[in-house]
Amino acid sequence: MTATTLKRPTELLPDQVTLRRRALGLTAHDPARTAGGYTLFAGQTAEGRVDLVDIDGRRVHKWQMPVRAGRDAVILPNGNLGYNGSHAISADLYPAWDLWHGGDFYEATPDGEIVWRHEDIHHHHDAQWLDNGNLLYTVAAPLPAEKAARITGGDPRKDAADGIVQSDIVREVNRAGETVWEWRIWDHLDPADFPVHQIFDRRHWPMINGLSVTASGLILMSLRTTSGIIAVDRATGRVIWNVGSDVVAQQHTPVETEGGQVLCFDNGNLRQGSTSPFSRALEFDPATGDVVWSYTDPMPSAFFSPYMGGAQRLWNGNTFICESAFGRLFEVTPEGETVWEYVIPDFAEYPAPLSGFIRGLHNSCFRAHRYTKDQVPWL
């Protein structure tokens, strides 16, 4: 064929959003090996819409909530939606605060009727809706000055002019909004023993970004700015075990598996011994810190969420993973083979002032959850 017979391809103007040029929606499905079920997610830029999609990637239900998602949404045991919304007038604690606060909680029926609401302008990151109807969540509170003086690591050039360092309280409230249990981290951990990573400012130590409750009642807490997971005895407040930055790196979502191990989303920022960050789903033995299972992409750097993220062990032994920053939700077998994948197809900007920190169009979600048909009987 000579050069004169070649035809120029039809002009195709590229979408400037790289992720949107790639496959969206359902991109992989192996019916024989997936656990099946329904996937719930609340897009960070979806302006309050919560989507439920089936295993074929079709939206089968949605809620339109009064405020945009601060963090995630869950299906409660009664079939209602538990929603962690972004409070419109949350506390103004430091410049990046708006990136991770929630604080406007709702319970809504499948038809969207609001049946309960709770507000806490100091809430940030995670919350757990407990079986007794109570709500367990994390709030920020000033670290006592004598404790703040013991903080090590971090970048002191970024310290606040007033010298105030925010820390964390885990709080449980009942249906009347009354606090029934509270745990202050500085009463049990010494900041000198949990140094802040060098790239972080020291305005929030250690930033609990994940919570869950084990079968025996221990409360698992993920420490973001220091990299680590602790387990707390509710009755005594004592820290039962601690896994540090030699095992995890900027992790989220610690949850107990059926065998008593702990599964988490290990983001991989500043991982010890690694110069190229990548994320993984990681399961470890809390007694020893030994890794008993993990998933990384065959090309590790192809799976990486520098912030947020989630991992859930499914009823058939597979693991459901939320690569939050890129809106990629996928399911892998124990052998690490991907059997289902869905990429959130909706992109929008974060509202101000968040758009000053996270620029551009995003399809991210804090966390996603998979449910069986029995857990959504009204569908």
Tens digits of residue pLDDT in 282-317: 999 999 999 999 999 999 999 999 999 999 999 999
The pLDDT of residue 2 is above 70: no
In a domain, 8, yes or no: no
Span 50-60, pLDDT tens digits: 999 999 999 99
In a domain, 40, yes or no: yes
The pLDDT of residue 10 is above 70: no
Neighbours of 118 (CB within 10 A): 18
Q: For residue 1, name the pLDDT band (cuts at 50, 70, 90).
A: very low
Task: Report yes or no: 210 and 222 within 8 Å, Cβ to Cβ.
Answer: yes
Span 88-112, pLDDT tens digits: 999 999 988 999 999 999 999 999 9
CATH number, domain with residue 293: 2.120.10.30
In a domain, 14, yes or no: no
Number of domains, the chain: 1
Compute the distance between CA of residue 282 and CA of residue 265 in angstroms, rounded to an integer: 6
Task: Report yes or no: 138 and 124 within 8 Å, Cβ to Cβ.
Answer: yes
In a domain, 2, yes or no: no
How high is the pLDDT of residue 286? Answer: 97
In a domain, 87, yes or no: yes
Compute the distance between CA of residue 252 and CA of residue 271 in angstroms, rounded to an integer: 14
Please compute Rg for the chain using Cα positions.
21
Span 328-358, pLDDT tens digits: 999 999 999 999 999 999 999 999 888 988 9
Q: What is the mean pLDDT of residues 55-72?
A: 98
Residue 102: domain span: 22-375
In a domain, 11, yes or no: no
Tokens, residue 47: 């302006």
How high is the pLDDT of residue 156? Answer: 85
Look up the pTM and report it. Answer: 0.95
In a domain, 356, yes or no: yes
> Length of the chain in residues, anyone?
379
Q: For residue 149, name the pLDDT band (cuts at 50, 70, 90).
A: very high
